[in-house]
Structure 1
Amino acid sequence: MTTEAQVETVSMPAAQMVEVEVKRWHGAADGRVFGWQLLPVKEALRLQEDTFRCPECLGRVRLRPASAEKQTEAYAEHYSKNTGCSLGGHFAGEKHLHPKPLN
């Protein structure tokens, strides 16, 4: 028989950010626009850009390359935590924009 004190709660891991947005020219030659484009982090790492944002909360993020040693895929993380973003380790359960969104 198990008591409530013996029941261990298992927390879900935070969703990793594997896509980011970067502001650049995109589209066909006759309809090119300058704006935010969604890219996989793996592809974004190849760009000569230094400003990327979270596709969910629009906060600034940094890119982290894949690591065979740590057995991780390429991902992004927020520069400053946002409890309103489910794509980070500090999500409080209610989604909202970053306090300092990149526009």
Structure 2
Amino acid sequence: MVEEVEVKRWHGAADSRVFGWQRMPVKEALRLQDDTFRCPECLGRVRLRAAAPEKELAERGEHFSKNPGCSLGDCFAGEKRTHPKPLN
């Protein structure tokens, strides 16, 4: 389960702002008006899911396409690898 995601945005102090990937908790990312997020481990695209109290599920990110090379996904095969289609 992906608990943190990366989103491309402006960040940093006013005099040294840069546009790049910034890591944040899924709960915070759900408040953004953005639709492109990536997994911080495999760099694959993820979709955000809100909490589901009736199923006891917390906010989370889910990979759009499964990657057996990501330990944060639900099909990890034991060897970490970058996603076949990483977001750069």
Find runs of 4+ consecutive structure 1 residues off by over 2 angstroms: none
Q: Which residue in the other structure is 2:41 paired with?
A: 56
1:18 aligns with 2:10: no
TM-score by structure 2 length?
0.98
1:45 aligns with 2:30: yes
1:99 aligns with 2:80: no
Offset, 1:68: 1.0
Aligned-residue Cα RMSD (Å) equals 0.4
Offset, 1:67: 1.0
TM-score by structure 1 length?
0.84
What letter matches 2:25 in structure 1? Answer: P
Distance 2:53 2:37 in 1: 24
Q: Which has the higher strand share?
A: 2
Distance 2:50 2:24 in 1: 14
- Structure 1 regions of 5+ residues with no counterpart? 1-15
Q: Which residue in the other structure is 2:67 paired with?
A: 82
Identity over aligned residues, as a percent? Answer: 75
Q: Which has the larger radius of gyration?
A: 1
Q: How many residues align?
A: 88
